[in-house]
Amino acid sequence: MLEDHWYILGAGAIGSLFACQFERANIHSTLLIRSASSAHSLAEKTFKSIAVTFLDESKHNFSIQTQPSVQSSITGSKESLSTLPIQQLILATKAHQSQIAIDNIRSRLAEKAIIVVMQNGMGVAEQLQAQLPQCRIFVATTTEGAHRPTTNSLIHAGAGETWIGYLPSNGQKDYHTESITAQSIAKQWQKTVLSIHYDHNIIQRLWTKLAINCAINPLTVKYQCNNGALLKKPEALQLMEKVCQELQQVMTARGIHSPSNLFTTVKQVAKNTHSNISSMLQDNRNHQPTEIHFINGYIVNEGKTLGIPTPANQALALEITHVDIPK
């Protein structure tokens, strides 16, 4: 039986979007945030105001309950960390921030806590399965488009779809039971206006999204352009094709069905999202570390394990890791 309350770790665009849409649908949530500076207190509870602009351009202010995920050493805040057990958690941090974020709240995780990993890239869910074998790890992938111009505002810019499923882990858990739980999560989240589905074969969907991110995101950083502009650069298209060929080989070797022409699929996504600034380019422009290690880096590691060379992905992973931050 699911509880009607979710903790959300990671108050970026997607974490905040889900918190606000949950609030609207009467699903209770608590945002676990690092800094209390943007929150205000009311009757011993702390809230963060988020002004949301919806797809139809209507606006609504939300007051989302928050708790600090880490004791503030900067402000010397006396605010004590909650010890209430976390039964249901959405991990919506950037992939490279996951480990530290989970470590900060690890002592609060209930013994059989449900954790839904919802982020770009791959590898974190598997890491958590190994580190927290008692917890129940699920994965979700979303194509909702949202961005946060400021910490207290959110723009829901593009309608997308969210898919939830269970990632089998060396047969430790009962696949049937866990699949039913994933279906219940999808059903509960369907109370929101978001388009949410259960996927029996979530691994396939995660890999397809990974392939798209591998072939678009680092190229937008390399060429400092939006997604659509890649299609007008012959050099970028050539590289995109090579990245896709390597991905197709790795996916086939892993027994993952890849679209028969991944390159065509990727070009179509770049066309559909032509004016998007990819999440990796946004990180790069915001002087933040990128998720490259969990995107192309993941493919390089998979290739090594499978004995498949992935020179194009490797070169991109190296280049983006060391890319100069634009002035």
Catalytic residue annotation: 209
Establish if 269 lies at the interface with ligand KPL (CB under 6 A): yes
**Amino acid, res. 117:** V
Q: Do the beta carbons of residue 4 and residue 10 sit within 8 Å?
A: no
Among 276, 284, 290, 313, binds ligand KPL (CB under 6 A): 276
Using CB under 6 A as the criterion, what x/- string covers residues 215-254 for binding ligand KPL? -xx---------x---------------------------
C-alpha 257/C-alpha 247 separation (Å) is 11
Q: Give how far Cα 186 sits from Cα of 4, 117, 162, 166, 310, Å.
A: 13, 14, 9, 11, 36
Establish if 11 lies at the interface with ligand KPL (CB under 6 A): no
C-alpha 327/C-alpha 313 separation (Å) is 26
Span 199-218, contacts to ligand KPL by CB under 6 A: 212-213, 216-217
Among 188, 192, 248, 278, binds ligand KPL (CB under 6 A): 278
Q: Do the beta carbons of residue 5 and residue 185 sit within 8 Å?
A: no
Establish if 262 lies at the interface with ligand KPL (CB under 6 A): no
Smallest distance, ligand KPL to C-beta of residue 291, A: 8
Which DSSP string corresponds to 129-159?
HHH-TTSEEEEEEE--EEEEEETTEEEEEE-
Establish if 97 lies at the interface with ligand KPL (CB under 6 A): no
Residue with smaller CB distance to ligand KPL, 283 or 302: 283
**Residue ranges in contact with ligand KPL by CB under 6 A:** 120, 212-213, 216-217, 227, 269, 273, 276, 278-279
